[in-house]
Amino acid sequence: MKKHLLLAVMLATASPFIAMGQDMSNGANNFYKSDRVTSQRIAFDNQYKMKVVGNLFVPQHLDRGTKHPAIVVGHPFGAVKEQSANLYAQKLAEQGFVTLSLDLSFWGESDGQPRNAVLPDVYAEDFSAALDFLGTQSFIDRERIGVLGICAGGGFVISAAKIDPRMKAIATVAMVDMGSAARSLTTLEQRKKITAEAAAQRWVEFSGGKAEYTGGTVNELTVDTPAMQREFYDFYRTPRGEYTPAGASPATTTHPTLTSNVKFLNFYPLNDIDAISPRPMLFISGDQSFSRGFSEEAYRRADQPKELYWVKGAGHVDLYDRVDLIPWEKLTSFFKTNLR
């Protein structure tokens, strides 16, 4: 998996400069609004008494006198619920599920200071807190709640599901293991340099200095921008998917804090993934995606029942919002079968 990812990055870095605009092909529709579901902004506390904000989508004419299955949907890392998660939540709500898209702590409308902090354990807790909320609603069957994570959100739902058996069906789309990515793209010496920089910045911020940000999607393209970053740029930096939450700065959207980003070096979501069995897992990835190796590795390490599903012709970011490529029927079938 590491060799596969490194090769993808090398190829991306070697790609020639190609001017990019807003690519709306294959039905790209991140800001989709369904007329078949109702939407309600909701908020609930996680176990650390931090406010988590989400959108609850309910199929129109749902009989609230009976109990129904539900799905929690998590956004890509650095994104917010308005980027990809709301789209998936609405499309699944159209199929009869009650769905909840949420902003992970430190991002979007949810609590957490400093903004854009990396705390994988808290992210996992947010998914469990979403189950707390859903399972106490009179029209939700707490024995039929699933989770879906997009991109790095897939790694976060896996880490949550390992220790929360209430998550009855787990699906990931274009899953990225941020811990493996952080470790495999750097040498030991590079990691020592990165951690030293983060440690030095802690002195600055503790003394009242300005927070520094790192990583994330580039804010402008150059002749040297890798193809992988161009994919992200076309989503996060064009009207196709660009969204800046109230109170945030466009200059820092998607960028985690420098001092916290090193925490991914200690993040191992795929360790003990077999503990999720016998709850079913579905891994969806594009067969042209630079991230496909993460789903392959997760599938290899997971126990049955499990399935790895390839979307032909799809890259990584394609599965954020291209409604003509995203396998809605596969997701619907998976959750209907396993949340009966």
Give the model confidence (pLDDT) of 244-256 as tens digits: 999 899 999 999 9
pLDDT in the model for residue 21: 72
pLDDT in the model for residue 164: 98
Distance CA(182)–CA(152), nearest Å, equals 12
Mean pLDDT of all residues in 87-95: 98
Give the model confidence (pLDDT) of 99-112 as tens digits: 999 999 999 999 99
Which one, of 46, 188, 185, 222, lies nearest residue 119 by Cα?
Answer: 46
pLDDT in the model for residue 278: 98
pLDDT at 19 exceeding the cut of 50? no
Strand order across the beta sheet in which 281-286 lies: 37-45, 51-59, 98-102, 68-74, 140-150, 169-173, 281-286, 306-311
Mean pLDDT of all residues in 304-317: 98
What's the token pair of residue 22?
């807003």
What is the percent of the chain where pLDDT is above 70?
A: 94
What is the percent of the chain where pLDDT is above 90?
A: 92
Mean pLDDT of all residues in 301-310: 98
The pTM (predicted TM-score) of the whole model is: 0.93
Would the CA dihedral through 159, 104, 296, 7 be positive or negative?
negative
Distance CA(127)–CA(71), nearest Å, equals 10
Mean pLDDT of all residues in 261-285: 98
Domain ranges of the chain: 2-338
Question: Confidence class of residue 3 from pLDDT cuts 50, 70 and 90?
Answer: very low
Contact 151, 123 (CB under 8 A): no
Question: Confidence class of residue 10 from pLDDT cuts 50, 70 and 90?
Answer: very low
Token pair 């078949």: residue: 36
Nearest-5° Cα angle at 58, 57 to 61: 155
Quote the mean pLDDT of the chain.
94
Phi and psi based region of residue 215 (left: phi greater than 0; alpha: psi -120 to 50; beta: remaining): left
Distance CA(123)–CA(4), nearest Å, equals 27
Q: Which residues of 288-300 are buried (b: 16+ CB within 10 A; e: fewer)?
A: ebbbbbbbbbbbe
Distance CA(275)–CA(214), nearest Å, equals 34
Mean pLDDT of all residues in 50-69: 98
Mean pLDDT of all residues in 39-68: 98
Would the CA dihedral through 307, 334, 84, 66 be positive or negative?
negative
The three state secondary structure string of the chain is CHHHHHHHHHHHHHCCCCCCCCCCCCCECCCCCCCCEEEEEEEEECCCCCEEEEEEEEECCCCCCCCEEEEEEECCCCCCCCCCHHHHHHHHHCCCCEEEEECCCCCCCCCCCCCCCCCHHHHHHHHHHHHHHHHCCCCEEEEEEEEEEECHHHHHHHHHHCCCCCCCEEEEECCCCHHHHHHHCCCHHHHHHHHHHHHHHHHHHHCCCCCCECCCCCCCCCCCCCHHHHHHHHHHCCCCCCCCCCCCCCCCCCCCEHHHHHHHHHCCCCCCHHHHCCCCEEEEEECCCCCHHHHHHHHHHCCCCEEEEEECCCCCCHHHHECCCCCHHHHHHHHHHHCC
Which one, of 152, 106, 166, lies nearest residue 269 by Cα?
Answer: 152
Token pair 């909320």: residue: 133
Query: What are the φ/ψ torsions at residue 93 (nearest 5 degrees)?
Result: -65, -35
Distance CA(226)–CA(118), nearest Å, equals 24
Better pLDDT: 4 or 192: 192
pLDDT in the model for residue 110: 98
Mean pLDDT of all residues in 320-336: 98
Amino acid at 234: D
Question: Confidence class of residue 20 from pLDDT cuts 50, 70 and 90?
Answer: low
CATH superfamily of this structure's domain 2-338: Alpha/Beta hydrolase fold, catalytic domain (3.40.50.1820)
Give the model confidence (pLDDT) of 126-151 as tens digits: 999 999 999 999 999 999 999 999 99
